[in-house]
Amino acid sequence: MTATEENAVAAPVRAGYLHGLDVLRVVASVSIAYHHLAAWIHGGRDNTFPFGDALNAATSTLHLRGELSFVGVAMMLLISGLVVTRVAFRERPVEFLTRRAVRVLPVMWVALPISFAFVVAGLTPSMAPQSAATVSNLLLDTWFGTYIVPGATSILPITWSLMVQLVFYAFTALMILPLRRWPWLPPAVAAAAISITMSLVPEAAAAPTRTIVAFLPIVFIGQIIALVRLGRVRLGVGLLLGAAHFLLFIRAELVAVSMLSGDGYQNALLIDILVVILGMDASGRIARSRWIAVLAKRTYSVYLLHMPIMFGVLGWLKPLVGLPLAVLGALLATALGVELFHRYVEKPTTTTLRRLLDRERHSTG
């Protein structure tokens, strides 16, 4: 995954389709869904989860957070920066930003009322309290306002990462021309801007801003990987820029910015960086398989819908049939819901809007 981009479009310089990114999208998507499932199970007083306990014991040797926390999100942000940077070498700034917004926002706007329905029914208290199901919160969520307006509560809290990605898209659109002439400059400027923002903006006064700058370094590390991979930036320069952004992420963790409280974030990001670098060029039978391609195309739908469907079905079924059957039912319901959403919402929406954009570009070009 990136949850918000297709891997098929890429920069014209040594930019063959990276089948390994499809595998990594799937891995990130599964990791995110597993984290929320395991957290839900472990959150119940009478729940037992031997598999989750064993996995936590195994990953603790790597000093990772429990339930694979942050592993999937960090990988998703890395892939987003990598893929979108490749695209930036072939599109004009306005076209670039419009296409990214079209890919992210309309589908999210459809997912929000679905989540709203689950919250209204009181089936997803682990995602959002029933009191959050107000028209005001729903409208605020369409433009990420629940992260900005005091007292507001998001009905689909996982959308915070999309806010981070959209800021990266806007910055990249502004820096497309420098990116093409001096590829090292945008990530360098971004590092300086992030550092200054961390220093000047009080955490309590601007939590959304600090959340964005805390996680933006991850997306820029993905951009730096793409620039080195494309031969636009030398390896030594890439290592220096990547180290600067990694240190910025550590700085955000050390000052407990937003969600970065506790241990394990640095290790998870470092492992993800290595996995992305080593795995993005994979081209074996698994990476090129039809199933991987099919699953990779559905990762954004998984990202948006797994929490409301999974939590809703778990909360409904567990008192009736017990935890094991409730988990099975939740996974099947999530798979079905994601497939329907992808086929009848995500795919037709993005295809139609992109056709309109292409038609507008040809008529004005």
Task: Tell me the pLDDT tens digit for each residue of 221-242.
Answer: 999 999 999 999 999 999 999 9
Could you tell me if residue 88 is inside a domain?
yes
Which long-range contacts does 112-118 make (Cβ < 8 Å, 24+ apart)? 112/138, 112/141, 112/142, 112/155, 112/156, 113/138, 114/305, 114/308, 114/341, 115/155, 115/156, 115/305, 115/307, 115/308, 116/155, 118/308, 118/309, 118/311, 118/312
Residues of the chain with pLDDT under 70: 1-15, 202-207, 254-263, 360-365
- pLDDT of amino acid 6: 42
Is 180 part of a structural domain of the chain?
A: yes
Q: What is the DSSP letter of 256?
A: T
245 lies in some domain: yes
One DSSP character per residue, 266-311 reads HHHHHHHHHHHHHHTT--STTTT-HHHHHHHHTHHHHHHHHHHHHH
Position 13 in a domain: no
Helices (H), ranges, 121-234: 135-141, 160-174, 176-181, 185-200, 207-229
Which residues, in sequence order, are CB contacts of 176 under 8 Å at separation 6+? 88, 91, 92, 93, 96
191 is a domain residue:
yes
Write out the residue range of the structural domain in which residue 286 sits: 19-364
Q: Is residue 197 part of a domain?
A: yes
- The pLDDT tens digits for 287-326 are 999 999 999 999 999 999 999 999 999 999 999 999 999 9
| Count of domains for the chain | 1
pTM of the model: 0.91
Q: What is the pLDDT of residue 362?
A: 65
Q: What letter does residue 152 receive in the DSSP assignment?
A: -
Do the domain assignments include residue 2? no
pLDDT for 11: 34
What are the tokens at 311?
A: 């939590």
Is 98 contained in some domain?
A: yes
